[in-house]
Amino acid sequence: MIDQSILREFQAIVGGENVFHAEAYRLAYSYDAAVLEQVVPALVLRPVSSEALGQAVRLCNENSLPLTVRGAGTNLSGGTIPSAGGVVMLTTALNRIVELNESDLYAVVEPGVVTAKFAAAVEAKGLFYPPDPGSQAVSTLGGNVAENAGGLRGLRYGVTGDYVMGIEFFDPKGELVKTGARTVKCVTGYNLGGLMVGSEGTLGVFSRITLKLIPLPSARKAMMAVFDDVLKASEAVSSIIANRVVPVTLEFMDNFTIRAVEDFSHVGLPTDAAALLLIEVDGHPVQVADAAARVEDLCRLMGATNVLVAETEQERDKVWEARRAALSALSRIRPTTVLEDATVPRSKIPEMIGSIERIARKYDLKIGTFGHAGDGNLHPTILTDRRDAEEWKRVEHAIDSIFEEALALGGTLSGEHGIGRAKSRFLEKETGRGTIIYSRRIKEALDPRNILNPGKVIGG
């Protein structure tokens, strides 16, 4: 339990109504969307101003209280699971869009702004904020930056980090650090913002974020290509990109997922197909028509048995309904859903899919695979029941094997979900001892008392 005098200090800083220490409140912040053990914090704080946030961080540091920042708690690698005896710092009350600048194409936001609400506010001005992580309806921009979240549009538009122009954050002592600018170019000082992106709450606590906006593309076209062989689908992906067409979205679904989606939503998917590619191009209408025609031709050339081009908005919705239903359809098959995001160079996708199928057979597990084929970021989704200890052991072996395969193919542990607690023990395998030591030195220098989300990313 937290010391009464410290509790009173927190109450003075953030207001009594924003300090939660009753048992049930603390329990409700003991998990996130990762399938990991819960850890109940000692205290939950919900600062309503930037100043209060900074002071609360300082007080945590003075008392060596571990501090985990939390937005919507949709993290898939355990990054928002707090430390025992620690503090959960909610950003949900820091949710203002401070500025939306149409002349200079940027926005300044507080960390608790919900991604989809921000994207809608931007679109209302005819502008575009492309990063669209799967949890965007609830996820917060602070969390997106801390995880460097991706999404379906990553292939053409990149990930959250590509839109970060500047960050203001608090160091553990509560000092405000300003980095970046509202300008397109900025080489002033160290690129501390770059250090913050993807730091998973281990190096600083965000107070404000400046994000880049771009003009909204005026046209788009979606299509679905059907393949009787995963290899052909994958070759089609490579061929599209080799022919200098970069679709916004280039999604893959394996046979297991196709059947699950069809069982669930009856959208008329070909259940005998080995793989589907769901593709969308956007831009100027003329460019879109040209790119769509080329993609269609290339898919056919690479052996697609059928290509369905959406001619109306309704048909487009139908294409994406199938993709959106993927996780829902899979997650209903068994009680527990483990969503991985090991990523490989896109040319290695057929090998990776082959490996996942082998792993599923070896450990006798149900694994559906879908994901962002255009950027090699697949989501092998293990369907299991975590209450079954014997099966869960096999799941853990399968996860290890998936990581090993991805690394053997020159890939990476995580494309967009982060390392958090779930994958920190694998980090050295990918990056080497030197990288871990270097990263730990940075952490020690910036957070000597190790209060900022300890144990995440680099372990320890």
Indicate the DSSP class of residue 18. G
Based on CB atoms, which residue is closest to other proteins, 88 or 230?
88
Based on CB atoms, which residue is closest to other proteins, 51 or 385?
385
The least distance separating other proteins from the CB of residue 169, rounded to whole angstroms, comes to: 22
Based on CB atoms, which residue is closest to other proteins, 32 or 168?
32
The least distance separating other proteins from the CB of residue 45, rounded to whole angstroms, comes to: 13
Based on CB atoms, which residue is closest to other proteins, 381 or 414?
381
Q: What whole-number distance in Å separates Cα of residue 240 and Cα of residue 260?
A: 27
The least distance separating other proteins from the CB of residue 93, rounded to whole angstroms, comes to: 6
Based on CB atoms, which residue is closest to other proteins, 33 or 205?
33
Based on CB atoms, which residue is closest to other proteins, 33 or 367?
33
The least distance separating other proteins from the CB of residue 371, rounded to whole angstroms, comes to: 16
Contact 383, 339 (CB under 8 A): no
The type of residue at 18 is N
Contact 306, 270 (CB under 8 A): yes
Based on CB atoms, which residue is closest to other proteins, 219 or 320?
320
Based on CB atoms, which residue is closest to other proteins, 266 or 387?
387
Based on CB atoms, which residue is closest to other proteins, 267 or 293?
267
Based on CB atoms, which residue is closest to other proteins, 70 or 346?
70
The least distance separating other proteins from the CB of residue 421, rounded to whole angstroms, comes to: 15
The least distance separating other proteins from the CB of residue 143, rounded to whole angstroms, comes to: 11
The least distance separating other proteins from the CB of residue 28, rounded to whole angstroms, comes to: 4
Helix (H) or strand (E) holding 249, with range, is strand 249-254
List of residues contacting other proteins (CB under 8 A): 20, 22-25, 27-33, 35, 38, 40, 46, 72-74, 90, 92-93, 114, 116, 135, 137-138, 327-328, 331-332, 335-337, 385-387
Q: Tokens 């998990």, residue? A: 31
Which residue in 369, 154, 374, 160 sits closest to 279, CA to CA? 374
Q: Tokens 């194409």, residue? A: 105
The least distance separating other proteins from the CB of residue 52, rounded to whole angstroms, comes to: 15
CB-side exposure of 389: number of CA atoms within 13 Å? 0
Token code pair at residue 66: 């571990």
Based on CB atoms, which residue is closest to other proteins, 182 or 324?
324
State the pairing for strand pair 275-283/249-254.
Answer: antiparallel
Indicate the DSSP class of residue 412. B
- Classify residue 377 as exposed, middle or buried by CB count within 10 Å of its CB (0-12, 13-18, 19+): buried
The least distance separating other proteins from the CB of residue 245, rounded to whole angstroms, comes to: 32
Q: What whole-number distance in Å separates Cα of residue 199 and Cα of residue 201?
A: 6
Bridge partners (DSSP) listed for residue 78 = none
Bridge partners (DSSP) listed for residue 227 = 275
The least distance separating other proteins from the CB of residue 374, rounded to whole angstroms, comes to: 23
CA angle 55, 58, 60 (to 5 degrees): 110
The least distance separating other proteins from the CB of residue 211, rounded to whole angstroms, comes to: 21
The least distance separating other proteins from the CB of residue 209, rounded to whole angstroms, comes to: 19
Based on CB atoms, which residue is closest to other proteins, 248 or 339?
339
Q: Would you list the DSSP string of 316-370?
A: HHHHHHHHHHHHHHHHTTSSEEEE---B--GGGHHHHHHHHHHHHHHTT-EEEEE
What are the start-end ranges of the E strands in 41-174?
43-45, 67-70, 87-90, 97-101, 106-109, 127-128, 164-170
Q: What whole-number distance in Å separates Cα of residue 14 and Cα of residue 46?
A: 7
Indicate the DSSP class of residue 3. -
Contact 238, 347 (CB under 8 A): yes
Indicate the DSSP class of residue 276. E
Q: Is 212 helix (H, G, I), strand (E, B) or coil?
A: strand
